[in-house]
Structure 1
């Protein structure tokens, strides 16, 4: 697949890609990588166990289908690239997955979106969500009509025709000298048995290089327009082609329930537009839709293959699958920082936290198992009163985040209709904050901090079955304030991962992320 895509690109460009030497090197390194993995398994005495390779997009498809509660589904995967592909359509039926269509990564809607991330000065493959947030501040104007001509969806060929003159096939401006240096590092360490170290060293060098996924031609095309209108144009076009892709897929399978995964479906506005399509009855978004979810997808696929697909696993009913720490672990960490903090153990934790949030304290909550996937869903969250519409300014500054990024609410499931305009069949993704909805007048009036400038929000719906203690905190807050929502944002400083351990939580607390920290039933303040 990778070789075929390479030949196709040469034919379309009528020349060799600028980074063709690097890409050949990557193919060689990948071949050596698989060999070395098998060698490492032998050292670990695991070589007698079966060794399975699962295609990248198949792992996405397996995660989406097997974690859903669908017996039959149209399964879509879309991302930047993976094993030579950027998109697939699978039929999920009889506990099996059958691939019906594939799209080579040369025609990638994911990399189309990565290009604008690069163009506007954000980090490609990391900050695409900022484009989604920024797009709400833009409007339809000339950039949209220019961008519309660059990419489309071709239902005759199931493809995303794209004018590749505006894009780079690789984000790195890598010279022949760079490539030779990388290969020498790799070969030297590989021969010495330091296989993983070779990748670490190369990654250290590459990470210091400026990445760029757009061409000068794209820069020239859009140089006179605002970043808000450019973002709006790319977001709108992505929504259009992805809805067209989803509707086409439903037409192919005849099944109007769709399960989706892949990095492109981290775009919550795209998920909203697909869910609102009249051709689609229900949508399920795998909670860990990015590449972090491929390990789970691979495991699900192999399990069903080894059991001859006799029984579909139980649908995923919550995302609290991560690490959990004991009371002794927590006390050990608290004692380690006893010169900087003081704490008390409380018996009425939900009521105390609800009161503090109602008093407009910034509360960090650390409890139970960490969430699986990119969203904080209450167990590693910062909780804030939702009424102050200036929160985007002051809390983003406090957390050192980009000022225009919206904050998301958590809402009592029984109050969803009073808060959002939700099409039936779109509720499930909202348990995992993977979809947006238009907000009601009640929501806009009482939860101004959670409503983005375009009138939407990316809510987490919560009920007692998903997370009883977290639900009770919100229920108590509702009793105090009459508002069935508050802000839930991830517990971390900008560019850092969500806190995992009690020490992570304390470090973020001491950096000023929150006013008060709750770790299980311990309430912590600074000395």
Structure 2
């Protein structure tokens, strides 16, 4: 698999369920086969593999087999199996699904991107632009979509990849794969003029709307090489972010916007489309999307909430349906991204919360929205988990952290104490539709503000008021909440407005820096217990940590993750002896590692997923081990979960904590 593995289920062109594998295996940008995601989609829809007419994959079969050839040449011990058989084998092994060859379809990568965006746009005629790192044969594709049919107008060569260029620049700034959004957030702190001449020397704009980079631009070291020659060496991840790095990010963002506006300006004029569907990884650059809106090139614009590679799962499914049954029916525009797995029914959720009773207390208030709004108005920072999870990289009111958007110190507090991330990272405002134009400058181009896809300007008179969500350049990545799309969240923001005079909330994803966005009740409670959130609202319940909850870790069960590895290494010393080092590692690309004490190493070696921490630690000094255990849990090296509850009366719910 490639990065951002996902699964989606469609029926007659309608998106029934979709979820990224990372939400379930808890590995950011996972490359693992999406077996958990497939299972979750089937369960959400209440269907079995026997009910599925076709399976789509988001790259052509010949391209995948070509890539596999290189793997087998470099790794002669790996058995040579090709893409069709690999997919069928994984479905058989993980889900007991014996898929016939006649039901497995492979699709063009960019066509899958385009199809998912177009199908959810509600548009009958549009220009569809896909820009990302690369597809099988190009780095971008321009489609026309007369009457909803995708027609290829142009392809951009690999060496002109804006996605790979931005990725290389992200690497030069000391960030990792998937951190491009950090660079986007850093750019407003810089001056694009400082490095403008260097960036302009790297490309040319052509009269036909095209552009050209140097042929070496396909290398991830290209940007680094250019800027090293101009006196800006790469930043190491442990180095501070300095003004020169901010200026570099600003120049990069300016270059991206200039090139894309040049490209889209040409095609809007020559193809005479007034509507735009934008997809591919580059379409998640919200600052760029805001620039397109303000340009006035189009009357209407749509960006799919999962425009990155996860969204091609849906596109591949739609293309498979089209192959079997003809053109996909175009429906209304997608308004809610909450098509992932749910939390379960209220009674099920209450039983799950009760299992954590030694560490948390909870209540079910008569008016959940009013209670939550008052807590937020009083300064609380809350996790908020409701219903089905969102498809895509952003929490939109179903797996969110919410806070008062007015105090600027909330931005620093949440970044440092909860998200554990860089201080320059901005947060998004969630605003009721009735007040959106009052607080924000919305361009004339019609757009889908449901998914945090666009950066717009905060009106000058409200920038100080919205101190926690207004970026340094006076902009914000806006989410407009409509009552018909998310009634409970709309009521919450409106009620907060009644209490404070500001119908806006700070909204960011519920997770810390060690994990993807939470999916389940267990994930949400774990986030509460391992961060400095003031509380958690899950379904109908308000949840808080118990005072002194750390001592109750003794009753939790440590469970090593499938990717957890315990490594003992002996190294010789100069005196002829040896020193033994103990480490815990998450075994995947970019997985973290940490040194652990010999006592903790031995305890985790004994962890069987049944014994509690207290039982495993018997006979040792518990206090220092508990502190070490908690620090490792915060980094998600393993899970800690309640021991199974034995009920005296079958079917009866476990006892509920006091404070009901």
| TM-score normalised by the chain length of structure 1 | 0.83
Residue matched to 1:416: 436
- Between the aligned partners of 2:182 and 2:437, the Cα distance in structure 1 is 28
Residue 129 (str. 1) matches residue 178 (str. 2): no
- Counterpart of 2:146 (choices 85, 88, 93) is 93
Q: Secondary structure of the residue that 2:498 maps to in structure 1?
A: helix
Paired residues in the alignment total 462
Deviation at 1:248, TM superposition (A): 1.7
More strand by share: 2
Per-residue CA deviation, residues 357-388 of structure 1 (Å, 9 max, x unaligned), is 10010111111111111110011111100111
Gap regions ≥5 residues in structure 1: 1-20, 172-211
The 2-side partners of 1:140 and 1:439 are apart by: 21
Tell me how far apart the structure 1 counterparts of residues 532 and 319 of structure 2 sit (CA, whole Å): 40
- Residue 72 of structure 1: which of 125, 145, 169 is its match? 125
**Partner in structure 1 of residue 212 of structure 2:** 161
C-alpha distance in structure 2 between counterparts of 1:265 and 1:310, whole Å: 23
Query: Which structure is higher in helix share?
Result: 1
- Equivalent of 1:312 in 318, 323, 330: 330
Pick which of 45-54 and 449-458 moved more: 45-54
Q: How far does the alpha carbon of each residue in 1:223-250 deviate from its partner, in whole angstroms, 9 at most, with x for none? A: 1780011111000000000111111221
Task: Give the Å deviation of 1:441.
Answer: 2.6
Of 429, 451, 456, the match for 1:432: 451
- Conserved? CA contact 1:168–1:214, under 8 Å: no
Q: 1:37 aligns with which of 83, 86, 90?
A: 86
**SS of aligned partner of 2:189:** coil
User: What does the per-residue CA deviation read over 1:276-301, in whole Å, with 9 as the maximum and x for residues that have no partner?
Assistant: 22322111111101001110111223
* Higher RCO (CA-CA < 8 Å; seq separation 6+): 1
Deviates more, 1:439-448 or 1:237-246: 439-448
- Separation in structure 1 between the aligned mates of residue 145 and residue 71 of structure 2, nearest angstrom: 33
Alpha-carbon deviation of 1:254? 1.1
SS class of match (2:363):
strand
> What is the match of residue 160 of structure 2?
107
- Taking structure 2 as the reference length, the TM-score comes to 0.67
Residue 137 (structure 2) pairs with residue 84 (structure 1): yes
Whether contact under 8 Å (2:411, 2:469) holds in the other structure is: no
C-alpha change, 1:278 and 1:27, in structure 2 (3 Å) is: farther
Q: Contact conserved, 1:435 with 1:459, CA < 8 A, in 2?
A: yes
Deviations 1:258-281 (A, max 9, x none): 001100111001101112223221
Tell me if structure 2 keeps the 8 A contact 1:168–1:215: no
Partners of 1:31 and 1:218 lie apart in 2 by 41
Structure 2 residue corresponding to 1:252, chosen from 270, 274, 286:
270
1:140 alignment partner in structure 2: 192
1:265 aligned partner: 283
DSSP-derived class of the 2:468 partner: helix
Larger Rg: 2
Q: Does 1:353 align with 2:372?
A: yes
Give yes or no for contact 1:150–1:162 (8 Å, CA) kept in 2: yes
> Which residue does 1:407 correspond to in 2?
427
Where does 1:317-332 land on structure 2 (aligned, <5 Å)? 317-324=335-342, 325-332=344-351
Question: Structure 1 residue 216 and structure 2 residue 225: aligned?
Answer: yes
2:524 is matched with: 505
Comparing 212-221 and 265-274, the one that deviates more: 212-221
Question: Could you say what secondary structure the match of 1:496 adopts?
Answer: coil
The equivalences for 1:135-214 within 5 A come to: 135-156=187-208, 159-165=210-216, 167=217, 169=219, 171=220, 214=223
Asked whether the 8 Å contact 2:161–2:218 carries over to 1, the reply is no
